[in-house]
Amino acid sequence: MPLGTLDGAPPPFFRQGPSALSKLIFFSALALLLMVADVRYRFTQPLRGVIATALYPVQWVVMRPIVWARDGSSYFETLTHSQLKEAAAKYQLGLQSQRAQQVEQLTIENVRLRALLEMRARINAPALAAQVLYDAADPYTRKVILDKGAQAAVAAGAPVLDDAGVLGQVTRVYASVSEVTLITDPNQAIPVLNARTGARGLAFGNSSLRSGMLELRYMDANVDMAVGDLLTTSGVDGIYPPGLQVGRVLKIERRADSAFARITAQPVARLDGSLHVLVLQPLAAQLPARPMVELAPAMGSARGVP
């Protein structure tokens, strides 16, 4: 029999079972049925638990190099970060220690000088804690509303501070709330003192909308002022106690065609982020009353009355 006439298919004697297509359809339907039944009745959950328990040691062994590499990298990063934080903390501690020693020495000198000159001690204003409720609705002003008012003995003109410095001044008082005008408001002014040189000035809110800066106006062009100088309250206005931090000099412009320098300062208080503040009693309420000016004798002598 020639080889070309041989059929490559097995003889009918060896053909058993269904065809491959039938098997594919059957097992596909069976797999789909099992998936639907598992989602609905979860009968393979115990089987998966057993398989996962059996494979856990293998998974644990395979994951060890990855875990070790990750932990080692995290350890070295944490160690480096901790060392940097420790160095920064030591540096800050040294600065604080130096400042504490200077403050102690200055306090002793201040006490001695006041005793020598018989000057009275600096006024300590009573304070009331309050919370900022919300900003004022007017977008052209810089004002906030506090949760304390006349019922809490808040007075108009009272200074308002946060933990960093002067925030503003109470301008309106209602029964249960009060309105505070921030120091950066264009209509607000505060007398300041250069802590380095002792030069006095007047800081106004910047007229630019939402600038958040202060302007020192009417300062001589040759005034001794440098960038970074600390500005504090001078206490001469009868409102703010002296020595409260107001801002730091940010920019100085001296022009030859002007007799005044243009000085910009940045407030130290968090004007947009303070939530808890202190409301002080106005300084004028603690100062002695001004003496009455006797005008009657002067008027009498002007009229020629003896």
Number of structural domains found in the chain: 2
Per-residue pLDDT at 206: 81
* Residue at 198 is within a domain: yes
- Give tens-digit pLDDT for 75-86: 777 777 888 888
Q: Does residue 3 lie in a domain region?
A: no
Quick: pLDDT tens for 134-144: 887 777 788 89
Domain co-membership, 134 together with 242 = yes
* pLDDT tens-digit series, residues 134-184: 887 777 788 898 988 888 888 888 899 888 888 999 989 988 899 999 988
Per-residue pLDDT band at 235 (split at 50, 70, 90)? confident
Quick one: 38 exposed, middle or buried, by C-beta within 10 A (0-12, 13-18, 19+)?
Answer: middle
* DSSP state string for 120-153: PPPP---EEEEEEEEE-S-TTS-EEEES--GGGT
pLDDT of amino acid 300: 47
Copy the structure tokens of residue 36. 């639907």
pLDDT band at 192 (very low <50, low <70, confident <90, very high): very high
Q: Determine the pLDDT at residue 49.
A: 77
Domain boundary among 87, 119, 151: 119
Pair 110, 137 in one domain: no
Q: Is residue 92 part of a domain?
A: yes
pLDDT score of 136: 79
Domain harbouring 234, CATH code: 2.40.10.340
Residues 45, 139 within the same domain: no
| pLDDT score of 234 | 86
For residues 133 and 257, membership in a common domain is answered with yes
Of 32, 33, 3, 243, the closest CA to residue 121 belongs to 243
In a domain, 304, yes or no: no
In a shared domain, residues 237 and 97: no
| In-domain check, residue 11 | no
Residue 119 — very low, low, confident or very high, per pLDDT cuts 50/70/90?
Answer: very low
The answer on 65 and 161 residing in a single domain is no
Predicted confidence (pLDDT) at residue 302 exceeds the cutoff of 50:
no
pLDDT at 253: 87
Asked whether residue 2 carries a pLDDT value surpassing 80, the answer given is: no
Q: Are residues 131 and 264 in the same domain?
A: yes
Which is more confidently placed, 118 or 241?
A: 241
At 178 the pLDDT is 92
Residue-level pLDDT at 126: 76
Q: Is 127 exposed, middle or buried (0-12, 13-18, 19+ CB in 10 A)?
A: middle
- Structural domain that includes position 64: 22-119
Q: Are 137 and 275 within one domain?
A: yes
Q: So what's the pLDDT on residue 170? A: 92
Is 254 found in the same domain as 156? yes
Is residue 273 located within the same domain as residue 140?
Answer: yes
Could you say which of 66, 95, 119 is where a domain stops?
119
Confidence (pLDDT) at 292: 64
- HSE of 189 in the Cβ direction (CA atoms, 13 Å)? 9
pLDDT tens for 23-72 read: 888 889 888 888 887 777 777 777 777 887 888 888 888 888 888 887 77
Same domain (yes/no): 243, 264: yes
Examine residue 4 and state whether it is found in any structural domain, yes or no: no
Residue 305's pLDDT band (cuts 50, 70, 90): very low
Mean pLDDT score of the chain, rounded to an integer?
78
Same domain flag for 135 and 172 = yes
- Please report whether residue 225 resides in a domain: yes
Asked, for residue 48, whether it belongs to a domain, the answer is yes
pLDDT tens profile 268-289 = 888 887 788 888 887 766 556 6
User: What per-residue confidence (pLDDT) applies to 40?
Assistant: 79
Collect all residues with Cβ–Cβ distance below 8 Å to 292 and sequence separation of at least 6. none
